[in-house]
Structure 1
């Protein structure tokens, strides 16, 4: 039962989880924006974004599994696959934002591209937080709750002890000795 309690204490609340999400995911996102810009000087921007998104999603999912959502261990392949779905949506949002930027500004500089990329990434990040917390890493919270429930059920409950009184006459029936509680 102590293990179940420590797991429950290890699970962060929504505000703590969001703060950790911003720090971990934001740090990876910030590094990704520089990596995309650097890689886009050699290959097409959409391909650079796809490659960096894939790499950063793997890294961020591991960080979120270990720190953000209190799983305490490595992310499973199933969680990586689910996280990839939300990353694909984030990829679409950042690509659309960059496409719109290039439609509106003939030759945007790197600082403007990064600002647009980061803003689009932040918007996608808020939606991604909700998906990760409510869908991807929800099983960990359910398992901790199930473990705590099972541990609580395993604790024997106290039942009233009925005293028996010796009778000189016929033996008493069990129902007479211990009335229903």
Structure 2
């Protein structure tokens, strides 16, 4: 229990988290590409890609929860669903980019296709990192930080007795 609290308190900074995001996500992505190729030799490629995408998204979400963002434990089902949604949105961005390329260039070369795909993928990855960090694995704010910001000064109430002008007047009144 104490270890979980310590791990929660020591959240990595944005740069460290981004480096971990690239390492975890990139590692899972590379492994997935090999897994799809191997699985596609037994079942249709579309089915292999769908299965590996689902498994790799689950794996990456667990890695991001435990390592990238230091959430202090396993990812919740809500986090898995939000992560899957952000992965689907990133996939849509790369598909749209490739579709637009096909509409603009009749026969793009492999290099142009790779530049467009990798650029769209990088942009989607940066946005996905922000969504995961700020929404999916966001940490609740501490009570002291929140209450310090929301506490407003309370105006003093006056009772009807005027305040004495000096210390001598205060002594006479007593």
Please give the TM-score of this superposition, normalised by the length of structure 2: 0.62
1:76-102 C-alpha deviation (Å, 9 max, x unpaired): 111001111111111101212333444
CA displacement at 1:66 relative to structure 2: 0.8
Is there any run of 5+ residues in structure 1 with no aligned partner, and where? 150-181
Equivalent position of 2:56 in the other structure: 56
The 8 Å contact of residues 65 and 137 in structure 2, kept in 1 or not, is answered as yes
Q: Does 1:93 align with 2:93?
A: yes
Q: Check if 1:122 corresponds to 2:119.
A: no
Cα distance in 2 for residues equivalent to 1:84 and 1:29: 14
Report matched runs for 1:85-164 at 5 Å: 85-103=85-103, 104=105, 106=107, 109=110, 116-138=116-138, 141-142=139-140, 145=142
Unpaired stretches in structure 2, ≥5 consecutive residues: 145-174
Separation (CA, whole Å) in 2 of partners of 1:53 and 1:105: 30
Query: 1:15: how far off?
Result: 1.1
Partners of 2:17 and 2:26 in 1: CA distance? 13
Secondary structure of 2:140's aligned partner:
helix
Partners of 1:105 and 1:33 in 2: how far apart?
28
Partners of 2:32 and 2:56 within 8 A in 1: yes
Distance 1:52 1:4, change over 3 A: closer
Cα deviation 1:129-167 (Å, max 9, x = unaligned): 0000000001xx217x45xx6xxxxxxxxxxxxxxxxxx
Aligned partners of 1:122 and 1:26: how far apart in 2? 11
Q: CA deviation at 1:114?
A: 5.3
Matched with 1:21 is 21
Q: 1:4 to 1:40 in 2, by over 3 A?
A: closer
RMSD of aligned alpha carbons: 3.5
Tell me the matched-pair count.
141
- Cα deviation for residue 27 of structure 1 reads 1.9
- TM-score normalised by structure 1 residue count: 0.60
Alignment of 1:68 with 2:68, yes or no, is: yes
